[in-house]
Amino acid sequence: MEMKKVLIVDDDNDVIEILTRKLQKKYDIYSADSVDNALKIVSLSHIDLIITDLVMPKKNGLELLSEIIENYNHIPVIVISGNATLSMAVEAMKNGAADFIEKPIIDLNLLQIIIEKVLEANYNKYEIKRLQSLLNENFDPGKVIFKSLSIQKALEKVKKIAPVDTTVLVTGETGVGKDLFASTIVENSERKGKRYVTVNCGSIPETLLESMLFGHKKGAFTSAIKDQIGFFEEAHGGTIFLDEITETTPAFQIKLLRVLENKLIRRIGDNHDIPINVRVIAATNKDLAEEVKKGNFREDLYYRLNVIQLYIPPLRDRPEDIQIISEYLMKEFAEKYKKPLVAIAPKTLNLLLKLPWKGNVRELKNVIEHAVVMATHDSLLPDDLPAYLMPNNEEENIMETKSDYGNYTFSDAKDHFEKSYVIQLLIKTKGDVSKAADISEIKRQNLYQKFKKYEIDPDQFRD
């Protein structure tokens, strides 16, 4: 992989030499001793990141930052200085600097961590824009509400697979919206506008599943008083969505495999096959490969369904989606219940960001519906949320924590607590790493190491 190009701008050659020695093994280093020389390099080379001093003769770092923001705003800028006033540092951050580091830089490892964080954030920013531009070309995301890069990537995959008439397996935890992504596939396929039948295999009794999917002839069994077509026939020419596919029996799985392979169904009690033209989208909240190992799911059917797999990440792994989904749902429920549209109070949003969301988007939807119904103010308050989100007393909290940690090894429990603690610090300080370091008495560089370890971005907690 090509090394990222980093430009160091400082009128002190010793600083340039020290930073170059530290960073040159990982980055392609360029250097300049003035703003004018830096701008020449930027105009001639594809620079990925700039590290600049603020206080320099003639033109200063703020002027360089202004030029970069105006003409090369794809390049992130980290400002460093030992002589700058606090107001200059604040102005630099307000004007678009990615981060500020005070001289002397004692911990060069911290600098490298910050560089990696800034480069990654910049990549995500422009990758989202790139994917959005691709998605905007004759693609309808439907009701998928998102801000995260992970959902952007999932939708980019949807755009590729929707027009291709092949079987799709949608995976992810309960409540992440697998059905929503299935309908998005349909709406962007050539079968749009044709029959779309959804079946929750887990909600149909085992004895009825075959009849409901494949149909039956009159007299096939006691209650079969007339011929009945099944869901597959109903979906002919269109798409069938089989949710909770792992909740089917091995006997049924054999018959489903035959349907997928031969494009034929046979009604119960009939002697003749019926050809069908149906696209199949299946979904599960379980690890299908693991179910095959356990003997709960047929391996041949697994490979037949898993032509293309679409994974939907859980809500807790994409907290940046929580606010935008909540605001969308608030508007929806305000209209439904004829309530005035309100805003989310900062305290409420902070609470929502801290929750584990074991039920994912489905749970969030229920929580917001409850809050909208209960709200009596001009904003959603923590008291409007369901009571189960806020245990009544401290003892309940302690018991819940003990119960949860009892399922972990000591090492995992420690990591679980540490990650939760760091997130709560960032929520309390609104992403201010320096304040978080003061409160926790953890060195700033050590906090950044924890951010990297637990894949936490402090920027998402800032106003």
Q: What is the DSSP string of 205-256?
A: -HHHHHHHHH-B-TTSSTT--S-B--HHHHTTTSEEEEESGGGS-HHHHHHH
> CA separation (Å) from 157 to 139, 176, 310?
12, 17, 8
Distance CA 23, CA 67 (A): 25
Four-residue CA torsion sign, 7, 13, 15, 17:
positive
Instruction: Indicate the residue among 285, 313, 341 that finishes a domain.
Output: 313
pLDDT digits (tens, 9 = 90+) for 334-383: 998 888 888 999 889 999 998 999 889 989 998 999 899 888 888 899 98
Domain shared by 456 and 326, yes or no? yes
One domain for residues 293 and 341? no
Q: Is residue 369 part of a domain?
A: yes
Q: What local confidence, expressed as pLDDT, does residue 326 receive?
A: 95
Residue 415: pLDDT above 60? Answer: yes
Banded pLDDT at 386 (limits 50, 70, 90): confident
What CA–CA distance (Å, rounded) separates 47 from 41? 8
Grouping H, G, I as helix, E, B as strand and the rest as coil, residue 163 is coil
Separation between Cα atoms, residue 285 and residue 257, nearest integer Å: 20
- Does 166 share its domain with 309? yes
What confidence score (pLDDT) does residue 47 get?
95
Same domain, 363 and 261: no
Give the domain-ending residue among 294, 313, 332: 313
Q: Of 281, 313, 345, which residue is a domain's last?
A: 313
Looking at every residue in the chain, the average pLDDT score rounds to 86
The token duo for 174 is 């309960």
Taking the C-alpha atoms of residue 275 and residue 264, their distance in angstroms, rounded to an integer, is 4
Q: For 160-201, where are the E strands, in sequence order?
A: 168-171, 196-200
Domain count, the chain: 3
- pLDDT of 171 reads 97
Residue 402 has pLDDT above 50, yes or no: no
CA distances from 431 to 325, 421, 439, 452 (A): 21, 13, 13, 15
Assign 211 a pLDDT band (cuts: 50, 70, 90): very high
DSSP string, 110-139: HHHHHHHHHHHHHHHHHHHHHHHHHHTSS-
The whole-number pLDDT of residue 463 equals 56
- For residue 400, pLDDT over 60 is answered with no
Whole-angstrom distance, CA of residue 229 vs CA of residue 217: 8
- Average pLDDT of the residues in 51-76: 91
What pLDDT sits at residue 446? 82
Q: What are phi and psi of 279, to 5 degrees?
A: -90, 135
Q: What is the pLDDT of residue 315?
A: 96
Q: Are residues 308 and 167 in the same domain?
A: yes
Can you give the CATH number for the domain in which 424 is found? 1.10.8.60
Residue 403: band (very low, low, confident or very high) from pLDDT cuts 50, 70, 90 = very low
Asked if residue 142 belongs to a domain, the reply is no
* Domain match, 296 and 376 both: no
Q: Is the peptide bond before 104 cis (omega within 30 degrees of 0)?
A: yes
Do residue 239 and residue 329 come from a single domain? no
Same domain for 302 and 332, yes or no, is no
Domain that holds residue 329: 318-461
Phi/psi region, residue 263 (left: phi>0; alpha: psi -120 to 50; beta: rest), is left
Looking at the fold, whether 307 and 413 belong to one and the same domain comes out as no
Listed in order, strand segments (DSSP E) in 314-433 are: 343-344, 379-380
User: 275: helix, coil or strand?
Assistant: strand
Residue 303 in this model has a pLDDT that exceeds 60: yes
Give a yes or no: residue 264 inside a domain. yes
Q: Which pLDDT score is estimated for 57?
A: 86
Mean pLDDT of 425-452: 83
CATH number, residue 198: 3.40.50.300
pLDDT at 207 over 60: yes
The average pLDDT across 384-407 equals: 54
User: pTM here?
Assistant: 0.61
The CATH number covering residue 56 comes to: 3.40.50.2300
pLDDT, position 135: 59
Q: How far apart are CA 347 and CA 382, in angstroms?
A: 7
Angle at 85 between CA 84 and CA 91, to 5 degrees: 90
The number of beta carbons lying within 10 Å of the beta carbon of residue 296 is 16
Q: Evaluate if residue 404 carries a pLDDT over 60.
A: no
Which CA distances in Å does 446 have to 81, 107, 121, 440?
Answer: 21, 10, 19, 11
Name the pLDDT band for 397 (thresholds 50, 70, 90): very low
> Could you tell me if residue 141 is inside a domain?
no
- pLDDT, average across residues 139-145: 85
Is the pLDDT at 153 greater than 70? The verdict is yes
Q: Averaged over 44-51, what is the pLDDT?
A: 94
Quote the pLDDT of residue 42: 94
* pLDDT tens per residue across span 155-191: 999 998 998 889 999 999 989 999 999 999 999 998 9
Looking at the fold, whether 345 and 330 belong to one and the same domain comes out as yes
Q: Is residue 139 part of a domain?
A: no
